[in-house]
Structure 1
Amino acid sequence: MGGFEPGSARGIMLVTTDVDADCARLTEAGTPVQGPDELPWGRMASFTDPDGNGLMLLTEAHQ
């Protein structure tokens, strides 16, 4: 998917097996992270990349 201006992308979802560990690594690297929060579909956190794009991390809930 091309054609985006830097900082204009929102809601890019990255699925991970351990959102808590990934949030800890991002925080240690100096990236502010919101969450993770417990939601019906799993644990999710959000952060912004250096260009200002909005990304989300998700660990899906197991049924």
Structure 2
Amino acid sequence: MPAGVTAVLLAEWTQDRLRCRAAGVPDEGDHGAKCHLALDILDEPTSWQLTAPVVVADAG
């Protein structure tokens, strides 16, 4: 996967380790809730001393 790209997997995928392995999804890593992944993505520019962008989201 290219640098700076994050894949969000459905819970059905992350709970089926055989399916993940067959698709090349690594065992390690956080496959958590979307809201936690979004916060991690926003924290990344801050760790580079950059300002995080304005974010607009829905409740879906």
> What TM bracket, shorter-length normalisation?
under 0.3
Structure holding more strand per residue: 1
Q: Which has the higher contact order (CA 8 A, sep 6+)?
A: 1
**Greater Rg by CA:** 2
TM-score by length of 1: 0.26
TM-score by length of 2: 0.26
Structure holding more helix per residue: 2
